[in-house]
Amino acid sequence: MEEINNIEVTPCTESDYLKPFRVHYNQNGTKKSWDFMRTHDSVSVLIFNTSSHCFVLVKQFRPAVFMSEWERAKTQPPQLAEKTEEGEPEAAAAAAPAPEPQEGQSASEGESSSQWPPASAGVTYELCAGLVDKPDLSLEEIARQEVLEECGYDVPASKLKRITSYRSGVGVTGAKQTMFYAEVSDDNCVSAGGGPLNRCDPTRGPRNALVTACEMFRAKAAAAAQAI
């Protein structure tokens, strides 16, 4: 279990990863505007271990997911009051919304630790993935590095099969993610993975849980290869 404490929400005045903009434009004669974020494109890799016949996923704590869960909990409708023995309604203690900390205020100042969601609320299981932030490297090479850093498998870039590219966060970022498929074996494992800051944990998922998706991706790759 992750231990998350000393939470502090501060203004984001500058970032290497997100840059907010507002675009103004005319669409079919109507003047419009839209707020968006400029960010990096990314790669993801669906990894299948042929030795253990299972998929390799990445388990990690995502601060954005954690804070989103906290925001969602604040907006939950109040629970129905329960009547006491005297017949008077008694509101459930959990129904009271948590006070929102001010910018720059830590959890200890704005809200008790018991009012934050558990750390597990921010833990996700994901495909191995990373940002396209190295202009001198191909997408395949960036994906190869992510597989090595996060999951510990040393796989040649030539073994990565490009599946497709798609847009993620179309309402906010419009960034492009390119997905690859890679087959590895225990012989390819050269480290425990976890990333440069040990921020994630490679874990193996059951074959049946994702086999349909894998078969779809492999069928698409085979069809694309025949079309060339």
List domains and CATH numbers for the chain. 17-24+33-66+119-227 (3.90.79.10)
In Å, the largest CA–CA distance within the chain is: 78
Amino acid at residue number 36:
F
User: Token match 């629970």: residue?
Assistant: 79
Q: What is the pLDDT of residue 89?
A: 47
Q: What is the pLDDT of residue 29?
A: 97
Locus of tokens 């017949």: 87
Each residue's pLDDT, cut to its tens digit, for the chain (228 residues) gives: 578 888 888 999 899 999 999 999 999 999 999 999 999 999 999 999 999 888 899 999 999 999 999 888 877 665 554 555 555 544 433 334 444 555 554 444 445 555 888 889 999 999 999 999 999 999 999 999 999 999 999 999 999 999 999 999 999 999 999 999 999 999 999 988 766 555 556 666 544 445 555 566 667 767 777 776
The DSSP 8-state label assigned to residue 94 in this structure reads: G
Distances (CA, A) of 87 to 82, 83, 84, 96: 9, 5, 5, 21
d(CA 175, CA 103): 28
pLDDT value, residue 108: 43
Rg, Å, the chain Cα set = 23
Note the pLDDT of residue 92: 39
